[in-house]
Structure 1
């Protein structure tokens, strides 16, 4: 019998922490995806969530996606101990997706500032805006804000996953406040 990989161990812990928050009523898990890219021999695990609304008429359009990925280099560094063990681990990323009705540009800097306050100045933040046309004159703006950690996460950081989930939920709540004042 083989031991599970670091990716597998981290995925199980992260998934459990997110489902615990779903079961306690804080969030609603809206999607889960686990994939293996056979051409690159990489793995990816994603869970999407949003804040669970108390009122039946409310519907939060802000969703958070937590992604855990491991490449072939990460796996080989773990399994072949003679390789560079510094590559043994996974990448973690959180992203936030929202629709806005107004032009996004005027408050993009506020969005950067909000995410930097939550996640810290040493995180890389990317924001993308996409226009989706329903007709030649009707469109909606989709915003994706990604928080990148810029380093590998190892099994030694598994205890930090609870904070990752808590920060993600806090981010959704703060972005929801930000969004409601800018739509």
Structure 2
């Protein structure tokens, strides 16, 4: 009989929490991907959403389980299997410079729980630039954290609602 991995269980919880908010029209899911990378033997689940009818800021939740974690779980080694979760806010802005108000809001919302990273992609022949603001917890989450996932998703939505944007 199939025994789901920690990745499978966490993915179902994450997906359910996001789609519950989509069902209640709090957010709008605009894309999802469930990937198996055969070159690195890793699993990735990505789900993108925004506020309803407002794609100025798009959020991507990215759940990953790398080979080391997957092999450890399947071979029943002593380590506790877990996944990495990354949260990325995608914003299109006229300025190439980072939006200090967004960074300040992210740091205030996530305090010391995670690192905040910013990168920008300059799009030629466009007056808008793609800014990526990433929240990285720098640790794995395990099935013992499964009850926190719904709260995490709700906090991401709250963050999305509070982010200031420049038009």
Indicate yes or no: 2:22 matched with 1:25: no
| CA shift digits 1:106-134 (9 cap, x unpaired) | x33x3222111111224111101111112
- What does 1:1-183 correspond to in 2, within 5 Å? 1-53=1-53, 59-81=54-76, 83-86=77-80, 88-105=81-98, 107-108=99-100, 110-134=101-125, 138-175=126-163, 178-179=164-165, 182-183=166-167
Displacement of 1:78 in angstroms is 1.2
SS in structure 2 opposite 1:40? coil
Structure 1 residue 17 displacement after superposition = 0.7
Give the distance between the partners of 1:128 and 1:9, measured in 2 at CA: 31
* Structure with the higher fraction of residues in helix conformation: 1
Q: How many pairs align?
A: 167
Which structure: larger Rg? 1
The SS at the match of 1:60 is strand
Q: Which runs of no fewer than 5 residues in structure 1 stay unpaired?
A: 54-58
Deviation of the 1:167 alpha carbon: 1.1
C-alpha distance after superposition, 1:66-85 (max 9, x if no partner): 0000011001111222x341
TM-score w.r.t. length of structure 1: 0.86
Distance 2:26 2:113 in 1: 28
Query: TM-score scaled by structure 2?
Result: 0.94
Contact 2:96 2:122 in 1 (8 A): no
Shift of 1:104: 2.5
Q: Is the 8 A contact 1:133 1:140 kept in 2?
A: no
C-alpha separation in 2, matches of 1:35 and 1:146: 20
Q: Runs of 4+ in structure 1 displaced over 2 angstroms? A: 102-105
Counterpart Cα distance in 2 of 1:60 and 1:7? 29
